[in-house]
A and B are shown apart, each in its own frame.
Chain A
């Protein structure tokens, strides 16, 4: 066959497309495929030419749909990503990730002296900028950027 198909279609699962180039491995960490789903087939494409973004990454996860908490985390590092839910080889749902104004209980504060590490309280971050991401801890007011966020995945 002449057509160059690098990644085969999946029967059931999720295709995360339009991931910011270079972030595919962080997406894998977010969905925790190695620990939680050791037998899940995951296909990763890095630096795929894209008309819109120049280059993009793609992750295909077979037999699994993503939890909303995972989608929220993906949005933080790949704000232009799309989530395609596949059932029986067909896209049954397609949505863009979106960063909420406020993130609750999703991340830990990078400030080791933040009160959230010492008291029984859910972390809250206000999203001050979406791309590139800038979060501010609601409690200690410390700012976190992408570099501090990805170390948590």
Chain B
């Protein structure tokens, strides 16, 4: 399977076989993480973060360094050429002369696709506005595959299903693999109709449910943050926040093998006591970001 020189922009660009190949490649990377790898020695990654990010940027930097490569970049658009009025196209064309691969986060939807079109080196999308965050989706899939051994799992997705970019691409990918989806969201933050119709076109069985019911049925509980700024009325936010909080009590009726995932950072949608239960997997999920991103960097640079 040919990945060299390819951009990683949207989960929609990948076939089932390609996703499986990336996940297998990540598994091989994970097995070799203790070694000092030099697969990308002499290669340079440019991390262009036009929007602040902690874990995604650090995770990419770690992945590159674990493969023996080096990292350049910026993490605030304010200090970049953008502040001087340079457009994105020119910034990317310039950076493509310095680096062998670009990882970019940008506040506008579609920025990553545009960057990929003007760049001579592969571009990996680390989040474009509320659109896509494909490496998050791949690490989510990797986590589910590792924990469950398969991807056609009944997954409950809880929280802000309207604006959350991770949930749209995760739901899309899970639907491709034949997973059943249970959607749990407060009124006004439901999955947008066009995303739902996409999921149904992929043949997914999608149901809406209460949190209690979802917890009883799901094999995977994927929790996302409900952002305060989405609510015009602060009281309404407080009500909703409480209703969707996961505590050890919420999980008493869960299946023995339920796993709880979260893209992090969490605020208070999962209580810290859940960390100690057999269900919590969110910190393993974060850890899985490294082998997945190592695999992607090595694949697009033709070193895997």
Closest to B108 in A: A115
Which listed segment binds A: B27-35, B109-117, B145-153? B109-117
Which listed segment binds B: A35-43, A80-88, A139-147? A139-147
| 8 Å CB interface, B116-131 against A | 128-131
CA of A37 to CA of B28, assembled, Å: 67
Cβ–Cβ contact B113 & A139, under 8 A:
yes
A71 within 8 A of B: no
Which listed segment binds B: A2-10, A55-63, A89-97, A118-126? A118-126
Choose from B87, B130, B132 the contact partner of A119 (Cβ within 8 Å): B87
Chain A's nearest CB lies how many Å from the CB of B14?
14
With A141-B12, A141-B131 as given contacts, are A111 and B113 in contact (CB-CB < 8 Å)? Answer: no
Cβ–Cβ contact A141 & B108, under 8 A:
no
A99 within 8 A of B: no
Cβ–Cβ contact B10 & A115, under 8 A:
no
Chain A, residues 98-122, CB within 8 Å of chain B (1/0): the string is 0000000000010101111011110
A64 within 8 A of B: no
Cβ–Cβ contact B88 & A141, under 8 A:
no
Chain B residues lying within 8 Å of A78, measured Cβ to Cβ, are none
A137 within 8 A of B: yes
A29 within 8 A of B: no
Choose from A113, A120, A140 the contact partner of B89 (Cβ within 8 Å): A120
A130 within 8 A of B: no
Choose from A119, A120, A140, A143 the contact partner of B109 (Cβ within 8 Å): A140
With A113-B129, A114-B108, A118-B108 as given contacts, are A138 and B89 in contact (CB-CB < 8 Å)? Answer: no
Choose from B12, B88, B132, B194 the contact partner of A115 (Cβ within 8 Å): B88
Closest to B130 in A: A113
Chain B residues lying within 8 Å of A120, measured Cβ to Cβ, are 87, 89
Chain A residues lying within 8 Å of B12, measured Cβ to Cβ, are 141
Choose from B87, B89, B109 the contact partner of A141 (Cβ within 8 Å): B109
With A119-B89, A120-B87 as given contacts, are A113 and B10 in contact (CB-CB < 8 Å)? Answer: no
Chain B residues lying within 8 Å of A113, measured Cβ to Cβ, are 107-109, 129-130
Chain A residues lying within 8 Å of B132, measured Cβ to Cβ, are 141
Query: Can you offer 6 A-B residue contacts whose CB atoms are under 8 A?
Result: A115-B108, A115-B111, A118-B87, A120-B87, A121-B89, A139-B109
